[in-house]
Amino acid sequence: MNGSLFLRAGLLDGQTVLLESCGTYPLQVARPQRDMAGSLSLVVLLLSGGLLDGDCISMDIVVERGARLAVRTQAATQVHAGRSTQRLQVTVAEDGCFSYVPHAVVPHARAVYHGQNGVVLAEGARALIADVLSPGRVQFGECFAYQEVRLDLDARAGSRPLARERAVLRPDIALRGAQLGAFSHVAGAYMLGPGEAPHVAAGGPDVRIGASELARGGWFVRALADRATTLDQLLAGLSANWWAVVQSD
Inform me whether the pLDDT recorded for 115 exceeds 70.
yes
pLDDT in tens, 40-81: 999 999 999 899 999 999 999 999 999 999 999 999 999 999
- pLDDT value for 10: 96
- pLDDT value for 201: 67
116-133 as b/e: b if 16+ CB within 10 A: ebbbbbbebbbbbbbbbb
Lowest-confidence region among 45-54, 185-194, 196-205 = 196-205
- pLDDT value for 202: 59
Confidence of residue 36 (pLDDT cuts 50, 70, 90): low
Average pLDDT over residues 124-133: 96
CA atoms of 6 and 73, how far apart (whole Å): 15
Q: Hey, is 118 helix, strand or coil?
A: strand
Residue of 201 and 114 predicted with greater confidence: 114
Q: Mean pLDDT of all residues in the chain?
A: 92
Confidence of residue 91 (pLDDT cuts 50, 70, 90): very high
